[in-house]
Amino acid sequence: MEPETIGALIHPVSGARTPVLALLSGDQIRARGKCVDFDTHLRSAVRGGYTLESNDHDLLGAWEKQRQAVDAEHSRIQQELQELADLHPEGLKK
């Protein structure tokens, strides 16, 4: 018997759907590949540009938390790059 899915990760380019079988702990999920089930992290999927399709409240909450964390990471990196550019404007113009 096939385990029920709680969602799907959607590849940003191909649109390929990877079924999500379970939310394990934190941002870790179990997903179904072509040949094997595997564990991965929602933050990795967010960083990779995947989108999530799901009606599972817990999975959607965990996804949103990781999406916000990645957004904060990107903002922090942009701020640090801007600070470096402000300190060394000539070095970054090359």
The answer to the question of residue 70 being in a domain is yes
CA distance 56 to 41: 17
Q: Residue 93: what pLDDT?
A: 57
**CB-based contacts of 24: which residues, under 8 Å, 6+ apart?**
30, 39
Q: Residue 92: pLDDT above 60?
A: no
* Cα–Cα distance measured from residue 59 to residue 40, given in angstroms and rounded to the nearest whole number: 13
pLDDT over 80 at 6, yes or no: yes
Parent domain of 62? 7-89
Q: How many residues comprise the chain?
A: 94
* Mean pLDDT across the chain: 90
Look at residue 53 and tell me if it is in a domain. Answer: yes
Number of domains comprising the chain: 1
pLDDT, tens only, 17-58: 999 999 998 899 999 999 999 999 999 999 999 999 999 999
Q: Tell me whether residue 1 is in a domain.
A: no
In angstroms, rounded to a whole number, what is the distance separating the alpha carbons of residues 58 and 75? Answer: 26
pLDDT of the residue at 3? 63
